[in-house]
Structure formats: C-alpha cells, structure tokens
Structure 1
Amino acid sequence: MTRSPYELSTPSEVLARLHPRLSTYFGAIPPGHVGRGEGVFDVVGTPRRWLWPLLAWFARDSVMFPVWERDVPFTIENRPARVRRGPGTGLEARPAVRAHRTFRFRSGSRTMVDAITAEPDGLVDHLGRHGRVSARLRAEVDAHGPDAGALRLVSTRVTFRALGREVTGLAGSPGAARATLARCR
C-alpha cells in the first residue's frame, strides 16, 4: 500500500494539522508490518437501554456493544489489507486498514473488528468480522484547544446489509458518535 485510506480520502489541509506522531500512525503501513496505537473514545454506546438487546446481537460480530460509557481507553492493531464491497466478488478490492480495537470498559475488555477503506465517496469503515455495517466518516483535526493535533472521526451515514438488502440512515445528528482516536499526552 503506497498511501493509506486516510491519505487517499482526507483533505491534505486536515492531515497537515495532525500531531507529527499521528501523521506516521495514519500513514501507509508497509506490507508485513503492524501499526499499533492507543487512544480514548469520547463516548461508546448509547444511554437508550431498550436498544441494548440489538447491540448485543451486533456484538456477536464484533461491531458494537451494549454499553454507555465515556472516556473509554482502547488499544488498536492495524494491518494493511484489501477489501471488496458490494454484491458479487467481481468488484475491485480497495486498499484498507484492517483493525482490531480493544476497548477497556468498566465491565471488561471487548474487541471491535473493522476495515477502513477509501471509497469514491470518502472514508468508509466496514464494521465487524463480516462488514455488514458500514459508516461513512468525516475526518477532523483541531488546530487549537485540548485535542489539537488529534484525529476525530465523525459518522455521517450508516448502512446495514442483511438478507441481500441495504438500509441507510444518517448519523450526522447532534447525537452522532464522535471518537478521538488518539490523544498525545
């Protein structure tokens, strides 16, 4: 992989604001290597407990978890990959970063699996071992303030694939999940 999905789909002026250590981390991973990092998710899950049975179903595929926690530390291992999306297998495989992100919840550790690709319409995170949930992401990097230089990914659209169909919803509402992927302290 000569360029990472982040480099392929995030404006260069946004990437230029990354902390220097993070510029390397979000760059291309050479074949045979593993990228490692740690960070803190601002919010994980939902306070709507009536949704937790559905989230427990998604947890079986390592997508999301029935929790509601703030400031959740995590570690991550990234590997270069190629991912095909869509019906059939004739589609061209896209450069991807396949990640195993282990959250340290108060109730114990859980691992989320995903693959981030650079799609024609932007950065997309294919969640879970089977990639049935996809989230279009907008990358942001603050130039000033307490999180200056940290990458924040904001979900703008979520798609669920099941039984040969796709259902798409917007995630850009005020309640959208925001994650600060890495804080340099």
Structure 2
Amino acid sequence: MTSAPPPATTPVSLFHAAMGADFDRLHPRIRRRFSVGLRGGEACTGRGVMDRIWHGGAFVKPFLAVGATRNILVPREGRDVPFVIENVPYADTFGRETVSFVRTFDLPGGPRRFDAQMVLDPRGDRVLDYLGTHQHLATELRLRAEPDGSLLIRSGEHRFREGPVDVRVPALIGATAEVRESYDDRSGRFRIRVRVVNDWFGPLFGYEGSFTVSYTDVRRHGVRPGLRPVREEARA
C-alpha cells in the first residue's frame, strides 16, 4: 500500500506560488524577503548602496531619458549611490494581490525612481511585472532558486499597452533582464545585481550593490501615498 503524498504547502506569497517547491531551496533570508504578501501582512524596506549604476553605448541614453519620465529605468550613471527599495503588498484596483518594487536612487541632481508592480500570472507559474507610473510595459518573469540559495529572475516577452493598443515589443528594441539576489552571511547584507541586455546591441543598463532590510506590519501602516502607480493595467 502506497502512502499518500504530503499535502502541498500553502503559498505564503505570490512569489512562493510562482516558484512552488523551488521556493524552499532559497536562502532563509531570501525566503523571508520574498514571503512579503497580503497573507503574511508584512512590507519590506531595503536600504543600502549601489556600488555601480552603468549604461551601455551612447545610443541608449535617449531611451533611458524617455523611460525616466515614467519611472522606468534610471537615466544617469553613478557609483556609491544610496538607494531604497520598497516592497509593499496591496490589492490593486482589479482585486489582484500586488507587491511593489519601487527603487529610489539618490543620484546627484536629485532622486530617480524605477517603479515596478508585480502580480501572479493567471497561469500561476510566473510573475507579471508592470513597469512605470502608468504600467504601459509588462513582462513575464521566471524565478529560480540557484544552488547557493540565491534567487535568479529572468524576464520574458515584453508587451506595450495603452488604450486599445496591446502589442509585443519587437526584439530589436526590447531587452532581456536578469536579476540575481543573494544573502551574504558574513556581512549580513543582501546583494543585488541587475543586467539588461538587447539581443542586437548588447548590454544596455544595470546596477549592483548591497542593502539591509526592515519589516513592517502593512495592515497597520498601509501603503504610503505615491507608491502605487497612477494607472493600473488589467490585461495580464
């Protein structure tokens, strides 16, 4: 007589739901950070320093400048740049559990933001990443635990949406993002590395640095004004 399989663990967050059993392979500190969600009721704020924010060739700068008007990417390079990342769960206008990924970089000349809001894809095995203040760009994200317990995130297809327009962003002007987040037990800090690459033109943009985090009760403190996007996109 074969025994029944153990019951599936109830996902604690949309990231846990997307990763399934692979979530348990993450470093415990990474698991805690990506357990942020409505079920747990916690928000996570990271504060640290980007050792480097870099850009590709000069042709990239006009695209970064346009994106910056909607808090997409960062139009300036820098070293030793203080930054804050705010991961706050909330229910969006359409009732979907959402977690903010709002990064603020304290660059010379004034702070710059890179906004993203994440929801679980209807298929349940990936995350949808809506970019910017108006969520005009959306991309699929695949999440994977690496052997050392770090989290690897890779982007897939990008779509542009505005009113009736819903089109795939061509590979010629699109890009693939790779994000690696890990925890350094010796320093007690999270480490982040982001790299955005175009298939035709090569590396476009990226940053790397480290940070510490603190957790707050989102049911008590709520979502601060200005963290949510101006416009929310219903299309998955």
Does TM-score exceed 0.5, indicating one fold? yes
Tell me the residue number matched to 1:87.
none
User: Take 2:164 and 2:61, find their aligned partners in 1: how far apart are those partners?
Assistant: 25
Residue 183 (str. 1) matches residue 192 (str. 2): no
Cα shift readout 1:101-125 (whole Å, capped 9, x = no counterpart): 1246688752212111001132011
Q: Is the 8 A contact 1:40 1:71 kept in 2?
A: yes
Do the aligned partners of residues 138 and 51 (structure 1) sit closer, same or farther apart at CA in structure 2, a change above 3 Å counting? same
Partner secondary structure for residue 49 of structure 1: coil
Where do 1:36-185 residues align within 5 Å?
36-37=45-46, 46-67=55-76, 74-84=83-93, 92-103=94-105, 109-121=111-123, 122-143=126-147, 148-169=148-169, 176-184=176-184, 185=187
Q: Is the 8 A contact 2:51 2:81 kept in 1?
A: yes
The alignment of Structure 1 onto Structure 2 pairs a total of residues equal to 169
Partner secondary structure for residue 102 of structure 2: strand
* Alignment root-mean-square deviation, CA: 3.3
Partner secondary structure for residue 176 of structure 2: coil
User: Take 2:95 and 2:50, find their aligned partners in 1: how far apart are those partners?
Assistant: 29
TM, length-normalised to structure 1: 0.73
Q: Is the 8 A contact 2:49 2:83 kept in 1?
A: yes
TM, length-normalised to structure 2: 0.59
User: Take 1:181 and 1:62, find their aligned partners in 2: how far apart are those partners?
Assistant: 22
Q: Which has the larger radius of gyration?
A: 2
User: Take 2:80 and 2:167, find their aligned partners in 1: how far apart are those partners?
Assistant: 30
- 1:162 Cα deviation after fit: 2.9
Q: Please, which runs of 5 or more residues in structure 2 have no aligned partner?
A: 1-10, 188-236
Partner secondary structure for residue 113 of structure 2: strand
